[in-house]
Amino acid sequence: MKSKQYSKIVSVFHGRSTPEQGSIAGYAAIIEFHNLKIPIPAQLALISDKHKAYDTDEWRVLTPRHKPEESLAAQLTFALKYEGVDLAVLKALFTSVNQKEILSLIEKEPTGSYSRKIWFLYEWLTDKKLKLADVHVGNYIDLLDDSLQYKGTAIASKRHRVRNNLPGVKDFCPLIRKTEKIEAFIKLNLPQKIKKTLGDIHPDMLSRTAAFLLLKDSKASYAIEGERPPQNRAQRWGRAIGQAGQKPLNKDELLRLQQLVITNTRFVQMGWRKQGGFVGEHDRQNGTPIPDHISAKWQDLDVLINGLIAATEKIEKDENIDAVFAAALIAFGFVFIHPFEDGNGRIHRYLIHHLLARKKYVPSGIIFPVSAIILERLDEYRIVLESFSMPRLDLIEWKPTSKNNVEVVNATIDLYRYFDATKHVEFLYSCVQQTTEKTIPTEVNYLKKYDEFKVYLEDYFEMPDKIIALLVRFLEQGKGKLSQRAKEKELKALKALEIKNIELKYKEVFKD
C-alpha cells in the first residue's frame, strides 16, 4: 500500500544506512511511494534538518530549503535537477502510473523545462505519444545536465524543444555520473602521455613491445576465466585482439569472435543462446543453480544486441564521448547481457580494445593489455561486476530447469538496457592509467635492458638468440642465479668463471 507522503523520514533505506536521519526525496521517494521493483540507484537524495549540504558515495544530502513538495511533479523535478536522469527509475515509474497522471502534471506547465524533459522521456521510453500539442516557444534545453552526468552530442527534438544528449539509444543506454575520480582521470590527459611515451621509442622496439603486450593480454584473458590454453590458441586470440577496431561491430562479427574464442565446440552450443544463462555454481547435492549473475532472457537477446550495436555505432561517431567511456559502456553492457553460452568474458574484454581502437585512443598497432591489468586486480574487477549483478538478483524471478539451468519467468529486459556505468568507467580508467604510466614504460625499459644484455652475450660468447632467451629466462626464474640443473644441462658449455661473470652482468643490467 502506498504511503501518504513522498517525504518519508528514514535512517536506513532498502538496507542502505543514511549518513544522518532525514527525509528521502527525488528518486528514493518515488521508488518508495510507487513501490517500484528496480535496482536502487548508486546515489540517492536525502533532506537533512541541518543547513549543510554534502555528498557521500551513496547519498546526496541537501538542506531543508531543497525539500520538494508532496507531489509526483515536484519529486520528478527535484530528481532531474539534483540527481540527473535515471532511465531505469523513470521507465518503471512510467509503466506503473496511469498515463493521465503524467499528462496532468505536464499540462500544468507544458513549456517548463522540467515538464518538457519529463514529457520527452515518457514518449522516448514508452513509445507512447501523449495528447499534447508540440511546443513552439521557449529555448531548447539539454536533457542531461552536464554538471551531473556525461553527455553525448545533442539531437534536437522539435516536439519538446529538448536536445536529446543521451549517449545511447532506447534499447541500450547506460549513463555515467560526473564524479571527482573520473574528472581527475580526464585531467591526466592519458592519450597525450601515451603519444609522448611511444613517440620516444624506436619503431623496432615499439613493434616488439606491441607483440609482447598482445600475447600477454591474450593469455591473461584466458587466465581470468580459469583457463590455460596452449600457446598456439593464445597466439590465435592475440592476433584477433590485434585486429580490434578494423571491422565495425555487428551480429556477424560477434558470432565470428565467439568462433575464434571457442575452438572445441563439442560441449558448447554455439551462437545466440536459446535458453537461460547464469554465472555461478551448482549445489553439490542436487545440482540446483546458485547464481551470482543471471543473464538476460534469451527471448530478449535480439532487442538487446540490436540496441547495443546501434549504441556502438552512435558512440563511435560521437566526438563528445570519451573513448574510455565508450569502451566501458559497450564492453560491460555486453557481458551483463551475456548473449552466448560461452566466450562472453573474453569477447567483453576484446570490445574494450575495439572501442579504444575505433575512437583512436592509442596509435595503430598498440594494444592496451587490459586483461593483464584486470588479472592483477581480479578482486576489484569482481566487485565492479557484482555492483551490477547483485542488486538485480532479487528482482529476477526464475526456476531451475531439468538441466540445472535457470529459466527467468518475469520481464527483465530493462535491467540490462539501463544501468549506472559510473563504477565501471572508474575501474576501466584506472586500468588505462596503470597501463599508460606503468605497464608500457616497464615493458619498453625491460626490452632496452634485454638488448643491452644480449649485446654483451653476443660480443663475449657469440651466443645465438635461442640460447640467450633461454639463459635470460633461467636467470629471471633464479632471481639472477642459474640453477645447478641449468649449469649441468642446457648451459653446460659455460665455464664456472663465465657463469659468474654472466650473473654479475645480469644483476648490473637488470638491477632495477
Q: What is the largest CA-CA distance in the chain?
A: 94
The x, y and z cell numbers of residue 101, run together, are 497522471
Task: Of 27-31, 431-435, 471-475, give the range with the top mean pLDDT.
Answer: 27-31
Element (H, E) at 400: strand 398-400
Band the pLDDT of 436: cuts 50, 70, 90: confident
Pairing of strands 54-55, 44-47: unpaired
The x, y and z cell numbers of residue 465, run together, are 638468440
Distance CA 296, CA 413 (A): 7
pLDDT of residue 108: 93
Distance CA 133, CA 110 (A): 9
CB-based contact 258:343 (threshold 8 Å): yes
Q: How many residues are present in the chain?
A: 512
Tens digits of per-residue pLDDT, 309-320?
999 999 999 999
Question: Which residues lie below 8 Å from residue 285, measured CB to CB, with a gap of 6+?
Answer: none
pLDDT of residue 420: 97
Band the pLDDT of 1: cuts 50, 70, 90: very low
Tell me the DSSP string of 348-384: HHHHHHHHHHHTT-S-TT----HHHHHHHTHHHHHHH
Tens digits of per-residue pLDDT, 331-364?
999 999 999 999 999 999 999 999 999 998 877 7
CB-based contact 325:177 (threshold 8 Å): no
Distance CA 201, CA 192 (A): 15
CB-CB neighbours of 174 under 10 Å: 27
Distance CA 261, CA 346 (A): 7
Does the pLDDT of residue 45 top 70, yes or no? yes
Band the pLDDT of 39: cuts 50, 70, 90: very high
Mean of per-residue pLDDT scores for the chain: 91
Does the pLDDT of residue 156 top 90, yes or no? yes
Tens digits of per-residue pLDDT, 179-232?
999 999 999 999 888 878 777 777 677 677 777 777 777 777 778 877 777 777
Tell me the DSSP string of 198-267: HHTS-HHHHHHHHHHHHHHHHHHHHHHTT----HHHHHHHHHHHHTTTSS---HHHHHHHHHHH----TT
3-class SS shares of the chain: helix, strand, coil, % to 5: 50, 10, 35
What value does the mean pLDDT take over residues 165-188?
97
DSSP-derived secondary structure letter, 66: G
The x, y and z cell numbers of residue 142, run together, are 539539454
pLDDT of residue 143: 98
The rounded Cα 297 to chain-centroid distance in angstroms is: 21
Report yes or no on whether pTM surpasses 0.75: yes
Q: Which of 80-94, 153-167, 258-272 has the lowest mean pLDDT?
A: 258-272
The x, y and z cell numbers of residue 450, run together, are 634485454
CA-closest candidate to residue 338, choices 266, 267, 416, 406: 416
- At residue 373, the 3 state secondary structure works out as helix
Tens digits of per-residue pLDDT, 111-140?
999 999 999 999 999 999 999 999 998 899
Does the pLDDT of residue 372 top 90, yes or no? no
pLDDT of residue 3: 47
Band the pLDDT of 263: cuts 50, 70, 90: confident
Pairing of strands 398-400, 406-408: antiparallel
